[in-house]
Amino acid sequence: MPVYERGYRSWEHSGGAGTPAWWAIARRGITDPLKSRRFLLLLVVAWVPAIVKGGILYFTFKMGELSKLIGGNWTDISSPGFRSFLEWQTPFVLIILAIVGSGLITKDKAENGLALYFSRPLGVRDYVMGKGAITLFYYFCVTLFPVLGLCVFGYLVTNGATGMDMLLLIPLKSLVYCTISGVCYSLVLLALSSVGTRTVFVALWWVLLFATDGLAEIMAMFAPSLKILDFPGQHLNMGVLFLGGDGIKGVAPVVSLLIVVLWMAAGALVLRRRVRPVEVVS
Amino acid sequence: MASRPFEVKPSDCSIQVKGLTFAYGSDPVLKDVTFRLDQCSVGLLGPNGSGKTTLLRALLGHLHIPAGMVSTMGFDMARDAYPARRFIGWMPERGGILPGMSGVAMVAYLGELGGMPRTDALQRAHEVLNYVGLADERYREADTYSQGMRQRLKLAQALVHDPAWLFLDEPTAGLDPRGRLSMLDLVKDLARDKGFGVILSTHLLADVKAVCEEIVVLRQGKLLDHGRVDTDAETRTAQFVLEGFGDVESFAVALRARGIEPTIEERQLVATTDVDSGPRLILEAASASGYALRRMQRHTETLEDLFFQLVDESGDEAAGVLGALTGHDRGGH
């Protein structure tokens, strides 16, 4: 059909408010993976430990002494018990963030999509904030949200016998811990994603970062202080500050918090240098 | 980062560049570029590496400009680039497709990023995709589009938020002849009938001739000049190759007496003169000097000839060629 027959109408504004750019980016990035059934299944699997812990909590309160047969942290409804729960979620954090976050900037850069973003009225901060919100949301999906769910469930099961601990303190402590940890994971993953143009390599680097857990363990046999190289371990050790419990021997939780902050700063620095409205010349 | 209300298009839709200088490291790309554009269709011409894309990026506010000023629609692009970009649509040359999205999803998404409410962006995405001729393919993954469809999709995303200016970087790159004509039809329609300001960055002079009212010529980061495209320029003046028997010198004198400056090349004379009155004057000169004119062949100087001459020359010579290219006096703007 010739151009003159297709017509063109100027935009007639409906009067509604425009969407903030970072939120438009985040909303799209959050809803996209949910279209995949496999990903949805993975999310359900990531909730299995929470469901199991919830079931155990229920039977603990209903059957009393029988719960001793189970033992361990599964029946622990204090803060350290929830810290242990967050530790069990680490593999899900690794897998789900690798799936969601590896391509977030990589794909945009590979297709020169950054140029499109930055031809719009948005800045690097909006872009990073939007992308970061996606990874933070999915991090919360496998950490904070199950903890909050368990707290509410525990409070209901015990008929309020746990008091404000279960309803206020543990959720607040978990929120602070998960926010710091989640922002760090997001910034580091986005920084990795901004460096490469192949999603698979970004995912590989992400897995290697989590593999420092075992690597640091081996190296610590020669020098215990090398445990600071354990990337996910620092997050869990930092959790001792907020939720209590036993951390990494030989590394103070405050040191771990500082290391986490350093990782965040490094991630932000890389993003600042790598995310620019520059056309990729291939 | 708060919700961005709709803003009325600015009344001043001009683009002003004053003393713009930019370098990548120590490599200067733009040198003291100054011009003013009112809302119209402008061809940004220059050989590869002349600074066209860098100039477009400066107009978008993507560059930190060390010297000079860029003002787009009254917005100082060093300070107010964000609000200005709501009124600019950009079609990049390379890439420019967001992977994993259908055509309509991509255009609507970029509309939202342009400050549109979500429902408006979606509705508008359908409209502009229909306009660029992608109505039937809008639900297909953009990754699977052909090159022609990709170019149309990029034009649609530049249009979705109804900007005042369109910056098009090589919009016909990689298109087959039919696709190229179709794209030029769209750009021409937008520029001439829909009132968009269009900056068409290209090295294809035919595209500029088809679409643009003005041209800006860059060479090695310098603005040679800018002026209106005179569609008559190529037909008003022509070169005539003259051959015959007799005294070439006296024939040349007779031509000069009639205001035609010939050059003698071996046994030929080459005279540049007006297309309409030139042949008559040449015949008069031949008759007056007793020169038996055997051959008078017209060689029309095309825009291409003039452009190549322009970018190969420098200084005053280039200025003279530009006068012929744009068909008006230098400094018209």
Question: pLDDT digits over A105-124, tens only?
Answer: 999 988 888 888 999 999 89
Could you tell me the pLDDT band of residue B155, with boundaries at 50, 70 and 90?
Answer: very high
% pLDDT > 90, chain B: 37
Residues 7-26 of B with CB under 8 A from A: none
Mean pLDDT of all residues in B54-67:
88
* Two structure tokens written together for B284: 């008069």
Mean pLDDT of all residues in B90-98:
88
Mean pLDDT lowest among A47-51, A158-162, B83-87, B134-138: A158-162
Task: Tell me what pLDDT residue A113 has.
Answer: 86
Closest residue in chain A to residue B80, using alpha carbons only? A121
Task: Tell me what pLDDT residue B3 has.
Answer: 41
Task: Tell me what pLDDT residue B8 has.
Answer: 59
* d(C-alpha A200, C-alpha B146), whole Å: 26
Query: What region, left, alpha or beta, does residue B139 occupy, with left being phi > 0 and alpha being psi -120 to 50 degrees?
Result: alpha
A110 reaches B (C-beta below 8 A): yes
Question: Is 60 exceeded by the pLDDT of residue A48?
Answer: yes
Task: Tell me what pLDDT residue B131 has.
Answer: 93
What pairs with residue B271 in β-bridges? Answer: B240, B262
* Two structure tokens written together for B96: 């420019």
In chain B, residues with a C-beta closer than 8 Å to the C-beta of A31 are: none
Mean pLDDT of all residues in B57-81:
88
Give A88-95's long-range contacts (Cβ < 8 A, gap of 24+). A88/A49, A89/A46, A89/A49, A89/A142, A89/A143, A89/A146, A90/A210, A90/A232, A90/A236, A92/A42, A92/A45, A92/A46, A92/A142, A93/A139, A93/A142, A93/A143, A93/A185, A93/A232, A94/A206, A94/A207, A94/A210, A94/A232, A95/A42
In chain A, residues with a C-beta closer than 8 Å to the C-beta of B53 are: 279
Question: Is 60 exceeded by the pLDDT of residue B7?
Answer: no
Could you tell me the pLDDT band of residue B1, with boundaries at 50, 70 and 90?
Answer: very low
Residue A157 or B162, more confident: B162
Could you tell me the pLDDT band of residue B4, with boundaries at 50, 70 and 90?
Answer: very low
pLDDT, one tens digit per residue, over A72-114 is 566 667 788 889 899 999 999 999 999 999 999 999 988 888 8
In chain A, residues with a C-beta closer than 8 Å to the C-beta of B85 are: 119-121
Question: Is 80 exceeded by the pLDDT of residue B327?
Answer: no
Task: Tell me what pLDDT residue B39 has.
Answer: 82
Could you tell me the pLDDT band of residue A281, with boundaries at 50, 70 and 90?
Answer: very low
Task: Tell me what pLDDT residue B309 has.
Answer: 64
Closest residue in chain B to residue A20, using alpha carbons only? B3
* d(C-alpha A2, C-alpha B189), whole Å: 11
Could you tell me the pLDDT band of residue B265, with boundaries at 50, 70 and 90?
Answer: confident
Question: Is 70 exceeded by the pLDDT of residue B52?
Answer: yes
Question: Is 70 exceeded by the pLDDT of residue B329?
Answer: no
* Two structure tokens written together for A205: 């680097």
Minimum-distance CB partner of A6 among B84, B114, B131 = B131
ipTM topping 0.90: no
Minimum-distance CB partner of A279 among B1, B86, B94 = B94
Compute the Cα dihedral for A279, A280, B1, B7 and give only its sign.
positive
Mean pLDDT of all residues in B89-116:
92
Closest CA to A51 of A153, A174, A144, A140: A153
Query: What region, left, alpha or beta, does residue A122 occupy, with left being phi > 0 and alpha being psi -120 to 50 degrees?
Result: beta
Question: Is 60 exceeded by the pLDDT of residue B235?
Answer: no
Write down all domains in chain B, each with its CATH number in brackets. 15-228 (3.40.50.300), 233-300 (3.30.70.250)
* d(C-alpha B281, C-alpha B276), whole Å: 10
Report yes or no: B116 and B160 within 8 Å, Cβ to Cβ: yes
pLDDT, one tens digit per residue, over A135-151 is 999 999 999 999 999 98
Residues 192-211 of B with CB under 8 A from A: 193-194
Closest residue in chain A to residue B59, using alpha carbons only? A119
Tokens 């409205």 belong to A277
Task: Tell me what pLDDT residue A3 has.
Answer: 61
A108 reaches B (C-beta below 8 A): yes
Question: Is 90 exceeded by the pLDDT of residue A128?
Answer: yes
Question: Is 80 exceeded by the pLDDT of residue B5?
Answer: no
B interface test, pick of A114, A120, A122 with most B CB neighbours within 10 Å: A120
CA distances in angstroms from A199 to A26, A37, B141, B241, listed in the order given? 19, 21, 19, 63
Mean pLDDT of all residues in B47-62:
88
CB pairs below 8 Å between A and B: how many?
Answer: 142
A64 reaches B (C-beta below 8 A): no
> Are B3 and A18 in contact (CB < 8 Å)?
yes
Question: Average pLDDT of chain B?
Answer: 83
Could you tell me the pLDDT band of residue A278, with boundaries at 50, 70 and 90?
Answer: low
Question: Is 60 exceeded by the pLDDT of residue B44?
Answer: yes
Mean pLDDT lowest among A13-27, A57-71, B169-183, B247-261: A57-71
Task: Tell me what pLDDT residue B332 has.
Answer: 35
At a CB cut-off of 8 Å and minimum separation 6, what does A194 contact? Answer: A105, A106, A109, A270, A271, A274, A275
Closest CA to A59 of A72, A68, A50, A47: A68
Task: Tell me what pLDDT residue A225 has.
Answer: 78
Could you tell me the pLDDT band of residue B302, with boundaries at 50, 70 and 90?
Answer: low
Burial, B274: exposed, middle or buried (Cβ in 10 Å; 0-12, 13-18, 19+)?
Answer: middle
- Residues across chain A: 282
* Two structure tokens written together for B118: 């979500």
Closest residue in chain A to residue B2, using alpha carbons only? A20
Task: Tell me what pLDDT residue A102 has.
Answer: 94
Question: Is 70 exceeded by the pLDDT of residue A220?
Answer: yes
Mean pLDDT of all residues in A32-60:
91
Could you tell me the pLDDT band of residue A262, with boundaries at 50, 70 and 90?
Answer: very high
> Where is B67: in which H helix or E strand?
strand B67-72
Task: Tell me what pLDDT residue B323 has.
Answer: 53
* d(C-alpha B274, C-alpha B5), whole Å: 57
Mean pLDDT lowest among A58-62, A248-252, B3-7: B3-7
Could you tell me the pLDDT band of residue B331, with boundaries at 50, 70 and 90?
Answer: very low
Question: Is 90 exceeded by the pLDDT of residue A238?
Answer: yes
% pLDDT > 70, chain B: 84
Alpha carbon B259 to its chain centroid, in Å, reads 34
> Are A116 and B83 in contact (CB < 8 Å)?
no
CA distances in angstroms from B37 to B44, B228, B310, listed in the order given? 11, 11, 22
> Are B99 and A279 in contact (CB < 8 Å)?
no
Mean pLDDT of all residues in B202-217:
86
Question: Average pLDDT of chain A?
Answer: 87
Mean pLDDT of all residues in B21-30:
86
Could you tell me the pLDDT band of residue B13, with boundaries at 50, 70 and 90?
Answer: confident
Task: Tell me what pLDDT residue A55 has.
Answer: 86
Residue B178 or A282, more confident: B178
